[in-house]
Structure 1
């Protein structure tokens, strides 16, 4: 993980889950993570509505200069990546597996900003794993950041965290690059990529006890 924010929310999520695969939404105590709350969001999957922001921190809304609550998660991404991003978030919930996304934020005429996004599955009060807690963390703070809103995010890579292993902070595990949609023949490519990385190549995560 390249951002302290993503590392902190992963550590908190991992502590909450204990020996289970996924923690519950009701376990989250905002006071415990107050220092990163502005950078956090919660997604919710609803039939016929797709995956939408249930909550979005003030820093995230400020980045895009709009309120994100109730809006579609895939709307933050380039138009040709929207279906891909919906599938990624759905896979995180279905497989109960956290992922880290590498992306470039596009702003203004040609401003660019490296971004790290983490998606961590959550169990809702009815027992279904249909929520995600995550963070959007800029990896630098250029002078224009607070004056120029981000337009879209451009996905470049994905890492699946193996929660059964340790050393989550290792940087030498391979990231799976995500090619442009136009270069793919099948629309379910990202699902295949997640299944492939789960089986073969993972970014180690988990407790150190």
Structure 2
């Protein structure tokens, strides 16, 4: 059971959960951004590629782009600067794909030397065929030095 510290994560999870019904995950077509416009700046969407397993950023919210300082849309995770948390992050992505369940992780970002020091990431699976995870629906909450 996930325990949410941030309302953005709880709201997105509740929406995702209502759309999946009795499936392990809704499909991309079940998700309508008009239903949660206030969450859009903090959302990302990744397409799952197989053989080899890779993750392509297909959507980066404006707040995420503003904070990271780079729009990673169209880039693969291995092209995104993740520094010392790269292995941890890719294992978390792989977990959602293989276990077909959401994850909630808090990660250190202090090594980036930005205004924020940590971020919280909710990853939710999406599935077109009802069997495989083909997209990751992600909410990112960045914690600045003032909020920690």
TM range (shorter): 0.7 to 0.9
Count of aligned residue pairs for this structure pair: 141
Of the three residues 20, 23, 27, the one matched with 1:20 is: 23
1:93 to 84, 97, 115: 97
1:10 aligns with 2:13: yes
> 1:8, CA displacement in angstroms?
1.1
Q: State the alpha-carbon separation in 1 of the partners of residues 120 and 6 from structure 2.
A: 7
- Secondary structure at the residue paired with 2:26? coil
Structure-1 residue corresponding to 2:33: 30
For residues 74-97 of structure 1, the C-alpha deviation after alignment (integer angstroms, 9 at most, x for no partner) is 53422x432332222122022111
Contact 1:121 1:132 in 2 (8 A): yes
Which aligned runs of 4 or more in structure 1 are off by greater than 6 angstroms? none
Gaps in structure 2 of 5+ consecutive residues: none
2:39 is the alignment partner of 1:59: no
**With CA pairs under 8 Å and 6+ residues apart, which has the higher RCO, 1 or 2?**
2
Query: Cα–Cα, structure 1 residues 23 and 85, in superposed 2: closer, same or farther, change >3 Å?
Result: same
Q: Counterparts in 2 of 1:143-154, with a 5 A limit?
A: none
Highest CA radius of gyration, 1 or 2? 1
- Change in Cα spacing, 1:76 to 1:118, as seen in structure 2 (3 Å) is farther
TM normalised by structure 1 equals 0.60
Q: Which runs of 5+ in 1 are unaligned?
A: 144-209
Aligned equivalent of 1:115: 119
Matched, 1:42 2:51: no
Aligned partners of 1:116, 1:126: CA distance in 2, in Å?
27
Q: Residue 112 of structure 1: CA displacement? A: 4.7
Query: The residue matched to 1:69 in structure 2 has which SS?
Result: coil
With over 3 angstroms needed to count, the CA separation of the structure-2 counterparts of 1:135 and 1:62, relative to structure 1, is same
User: Does the residue aligned with 2:19 lie in a helix, a strand or coil?
Assistant: helix
